[in-house]
Amino acid sequence: MRVPWTYENPSCAGVGSDFFYPEMDDVDMVHTKATISICNACPHLAECAEWGIQRERYGIWGGISASKRKRIRQLRGITLPREEHIA
């Protein structure tokens, strides 16, 4: 599986990663819908979504929010490695 930032001409290339990792206080439906619409226009949507399901706890990947990816992982029996907390 290719890492998403190596895709050719992804829709998110010119947007900036902060758009896909909003601060929790800043999250609203308008922002989320705008972010997902960028993903939905991307030719790499499915591949990026699968990357997010398999590897990512935070942000929006392939048009799927962190909470939806968590539910998908539960349905598929996928467990992500424990997070390392830096003190």
pLDDT tens, residue by residue, 1-11 = 777 767 788 88
19-25: long-range contacts, CB 8 A cutoff, minimum separation 24: 20/59, 20/60, 20/61, 21/58, 21/59
Report the pLDDT value the prediction gives residue 85, as an integer from 0 to 100. 65
- Residue at token pair 């968590």: 70
- Looking at residue 5, the DSSP 8-state letter turns out to be G
- Residue 1's nearest CA partner among 49, 65, 71 is 49
* pTM of the entire predicted model: 0.81
pLDDT score recorded for residue 32: 81
User: CA-CA distance, 85 to 46, in Å (whole number)?
Assistant: 30
38-68 confidence digits (pLDDT tens): 999 999 999 999 999 999 999 999 999 899 9
